[in-house]
Structure 1
Amino acid sequence: MSGTSLDGLDIALCDFDTNGVPSLLAATTTPLPKDLAQQLARLSQIQRLASNQPQCVTNDNVHLQAVADRQFAEFSASAVNQFIWAQQQAGVIHTDSIITAIGSHGQTIRHWPTGDTPYTVQIGCPSTLAALTGIDVIADFRQKDIALGGQGAPLAPAFHRAVFAQAQHTIGVLNIGGIANLTLLAADSTLGFDTGPGNCLLDSWFVRHHPESAQQYDADGQFAQQGEVVPALLESLLADPFFSLTGPKSTGREYFNLAWLDAWLQQHPASLSHTDVQRTLLELSARTVVMEIQRLGIQHCYVCGGGVHNTALMQRISELAIAQASCQVHSTEVLGVAPDWVEALAFAWLAWSFVQRRPSSLASVTGASRDAVLGGLFPAA
Structure 2
Amino acid sequence: MAILAIILFISIFLLVLYGYPVAFTLGGLSLVYAICFLDASVLTLLPNRVMGVMENSVLLAVPLFIFMGIMLEKSGLAERMLRTMSELFGRVRGGMAVSVIIVGALLAASTGIVGATVVTMGLISLPPMLKKGYAPGIATGVIAASGTLGQIIPPSVVLVLLGSVLGVSVGKLFAAALVPSMMLVGAYVAYVLLLGIVKPSALPPGEAGAIIWDRNLLVRLIKSLFLPLLLIIAVLGSILAGWASPTEAAAIGAAGAIVLTLGQGKLDWATTKLVCQETTHLTAMVFMILLGATTFSLVFREMGGDSFLVQLIERSDLGEYQFLFLVMVVVFVAGFFIDFIEIVFIIVPVVTPLFVGYGTDLIWLGILLGINLQTSFLSPPFGFALFYLKGVAPPEVKTAHLYRGIVPFLIIQVILMTIVVFFPEWIL
* Superposition TM-score, scaled by structure 1 size: 0.27
Q: Please tell me whether Structure 1 or Structure 2 has the larger radius of gyration of its CA atoms.
A: 2
More strand per residue: 1 or 2? 1
Structure with greater proportional helix content = 2
Q: How does the TM-score come out when normalised to structure 2?
A: 0.25
